[in-house]
Structure 1
């Protein structure tokens, strides 16, 4: 499953049937893809105006929104995303395209800075061919998070999508083709992990964006670093949701934290994975969580009423059972779920663990599924200490009735983003990314578009 030595094959995690099969590119085809990417960059895209670039991205957004299910269904079939979530993801990908179409000119406008020159300024110029290494869990959104800013800053793009979502990758390129992109501006390369290094090292490839595990980020970052090429790494997370006793609306906090944990069957880097609750409200909040988790329905991801679809692959289900079993053996209280599910499809039950202690597997490893771990904190300082006791630093949330206190805590949480009394999510308008083992660089917002540009300073004489 995944890929053989010659093909990628996607398996429907609900029916366990083959969805799509595609041959892998030969070394010669990979060379051609890179050279074609360079050609379209040099002969067309590099010198295009912001308006020309924006026109393409608006057309891509329209194509996807007008044919929603054509783009949503491959996600549902290849990785089990419930159809309503898949439609939402296509719309969000279109929003990223529209956002950068509208704002890239402003984000990258020339900045005039006073110096001893007659005139001095900074301009943002494209780099050339860029490579995006993408995961299976949000195949459209994460692709557009890379593609939209890279294209609007004048670069050409090669996508290496995950081996489990090859049809999604094909559909993304088709959307650009239907929107009238210059030939080869966005291309899909079908290769296995062992072939990635040679692409990163290719002299024409100027930068790499990876969304994936910390292990993959470490490998890709080392290669890019040895070639002195810019790299953006969006990696794993073990996000904390801190719920303080002064939270005014605990019911709302429980609603949002449950949504954050189960969306995409919990297969999200920025899901609330560790729920840290202050002692006075600890048992009450566990019962609020249990009440909500119990109502979630698992089932056919094509059924509009399904809240949680299957897990993308069988081995991921086994890995999560091991994480839960080891945590329970270490003293965690199993409040809900945890049992192995019989029958067709790669399902994992909605699982709620309480009395989780630092050092337990579900506390220190990333859990990529519908597993919620609840940890008791003596007070706000203790909650903060627990939140930061992880090698990850992607996102986190603070729930409190005192906004000023929430802001102070936010500045002490070692993560790339914090939400106060709200869900942690990515938004095209705001930068997204992590610290520690959760990554480096930023995507989205005005910061993300400056990852793959030459920030060029120009000094014009004579001295004034």
Structure 2
């Protein structure tokens, strides 16, 4: 694998190190692979000053020029795919093939928003003679982007792309566990010629960074992806300053398998997607509600595929599932399994740590899990699936809606009336049928209920990064 990059902050168009740093650990080997500089308050203030200046310049840059530069950066990311993917696998642990695909997905987010940059249309509202009302969109200002560790490349790309396409500047605080992905993105924009101050990258103490920067007047939007608990805290901080927020928070995705489904195909597809990224995906299918007539064949096929998953270091050939991101996740999953077992659930496979080195956890399947088990309400964020039988679509929909989350949901059926009912009644921001693809660059992505609000992607994505201004123009003084 390629050498892991030397990690630095990026402020006002220049790379910098600090006197304080922290270790970056390969979760597959538990070995230190790099040292990450931690931003001091002075670094944060420098980033804010740079972002203010960058915003004044970038907001006046023609949308076509913004788009051209973004496309140039995306092209560089595609050209550097292998180098970036190796860095992601080293710091995150996911299989190299999945890391390669993530690099491409990140480039696609940038390319889509670059196209949208030239289409932030306003409108003219018809009115009385001599009077004109014009609705105009303008960039909101300096954005604070906070991205998670589970997708080191694609998640930062989403926030950077939305901000830059809209004419905003951004301070990105990327995840300390997986910093190299964000650094590669910033390097591509630097090499593409992005003016200094428009994009800044910091790392450090998450609580210190968020509390300090959210309180600053120039920060006009907080764009966060992460847990619901942290999102609620950040929203509270932002509300004290009337700062807008874009929140993509936790999920606990239900899957409804109807009685007319090709059960073997559905179970195989679900098992493959469940263990992608070791289940560390906010849209990961987790709670499976299977019609009782198909329950046993679905379970048998799913468990067989789960047992066949090859677990190991993502840098090795043939590995399908890598480790969890950090040492905290292993006991957290074990606790959920033991709680479910104690309350009567069946552990059909897995349920424990895998191996003695690295943060690996076995692909796990729980069946007949009672509603009072913690895993029915708490997002496991790991390779853990719950499969329960249901007697009807009514019961399945009620079970699907029984948590505080509403990010993604899935259904397997060929009946139009079932699709219509689930589309209308399942509470989620994204619902997919006969596929487990919840989000594409061209589709709006976000949640309802405690899964957040606002949307990234699609034609709706840039709306969060822009203010709507109504301009009234009379031909005479009235």
Give the structure-2-normalised TM-score: 0.93
Partner in structure 2 of residue 159 of structure 1:
172
Contact kept in structure 1, 2:254 and 2:400, CA below 8 Å: yes
Contact kept in structure 2, 1:331 and 1:356, CA below 8 Å: yes
Counterpart-to-counterpart distance in 2, 1:94 and 1:168: 12
Counterpart-to-counterpart distance in 2, 1:160 and 1:402: 45
**1:165 to partner: Cα distance:** 1.5
**1:284 to partner: Cα distance:** 1.3
1:170 is the counterpart of 2:183: yes
Contact kept in structure 2, 1:396 and 1:424, CA below 8 Å: no
Q: What CA deviation, in whole Å up to 9, does each residue of 1:298-357 have, x standing for no partner?
A: 012012311001111111011101111110111111111113333211100011111112
Q: How does 1:301-340 map to 2 (within 5 A)?
A: 301-340=314-353
1:426 is the counterpart of 2:439: yes
**Secondary structure of 2:132 counterpart:** strand
1:367 is the counterpart of 2:367: no
**1:103 to partner: Cα distance:** 2.6
Counterpart-to-counterpart distance in 2, 1:89 and 1:408: 33
* Alignment partner of 1:216 out of 203, 218, 230: 230
The count of residues paired between Structure 1 and Structure 2 equals 458
1:127 is the counterpart of 2:140: yes
Counterpart-to-counterpart distance in 1, 2:178 and 2:407: 24
* Alignment partner of 2:122 out of 106, 110, 116: 110
Contact kept in structure 1, 2:348 and 2:367, CA below 8 Å: yes
Contact kept in structure 2, 1:418 and 1:424, CA below 8 Å: no
Counterpart-to-counterpart distance in 2, 1:340 and 1:428: 35
Counterpart-to-counterpart distance in 2, 1:194 and 1:242: 38
Counterpart-to-counterpart distance in 1, 2:442 and 2:265: 25
1:79 is the counterpart of 2:92: yes
**Secondary structure of 2:42 counterpart:** helix
Partner in structure 2 of residue 414 of structure 1:
427
1:271 is the counterpart of 2:284: yes
Q: What CA deviation, in whole Å up to 9, does each residue of 1:159-202 have, x standing for no partner?
A: 00112122223222112111111112211112312311110111
**1:154 to partner: Cα distance:** 0.1
Contact kept in structure 2, 1:211 and 1:233, CA below 8 Å: yes
Q: How does 1:30-429 map to 2 (within 5 A)?
A: 30-42=44-56, 44-106=57-119, 108-116=120-128, 118-195=131-208, 196-247=210-261, 249-429=262-442
Counterpart-to-counterpart distance in 2, 1:101 and 1:392: 31
Counterpart-to-counterpart distance in 2, 1:272 and 1:220: 27
Counterpart-to-counterpart distance in 1, 2:127 and 2:421: 37
Contact kept in structure 2, 1:230 and 1:452, CA below 8 Å: no
Contact kept in structure 2, 1:12 and 1:79, CA below 8 Å: yes
Q: What CA deviation, in whole Å up to 9, does each residue of 1:91-148 have, x standing for no partner?
A: 0000111111123322x11222223363222111012210101110001111111111
Counterpart-to-counterpart distance in 2, 1:445 and 1:76: 28
Counterpart-to-counterpart distance in 1, 2:40 and 2:219: 18
Counterpart-to-counterpart distance in 1, 2:437 and 2:339: 28
**Secondary structure of 1:89 counterpart:** helix
Counterpart-to-counterpart distance in 2, 1:22 and 1:419: 39
Unpaired stretches in structure 2, ≥5 consecutive residues: 1-18
Contact kept in structure 2, 1:79 and 1:137, CA below 8 Å: yes
Q: CA RMSD in A?
A: 1.6
Contact kept in structure 1, 2:256 and 2:290, CA below 8 Å: yes
Contact kept in structure 2, 1:407 and 1:420, CA below 8 Å: no
**1:403 to partner: Cα distance:** 2.5
**Secondary structure of 1:87 counterpart:** helix
* Alignment partner of 1:15 out of 21, 29, 37: 29
Counterpart-to-counterpart distance in 2, 1:93 and 1:407: 32
Q: Could you tell which deviates more after superposition, 170-179 or 57-66?
A: 170-179
Contact kept in structure 1, 2:430 and 2:438, CA below 8 Å: no
**Secondary structure of 2:460 counterpart:** helix
Q: What CA deviation, in whole Å up to 9, does each residue of 1:12-56 have, x standing for no partner?
A: 0111111211221121111011000111111x2010111111111
**1:276 to partner: Cα distance:** 0.6
Contact kept in structure 1, 2:146 and 2:172, CA below 8 Å: yes
Unpaired stretches in structure 1, ≥5 consecutive residues: none
Counterpart-to-counterpart distance in 2, 1:86 and 1:366: 23
Counterpart-to-counterpart distance in 2, 1:186 and 1:408: 44
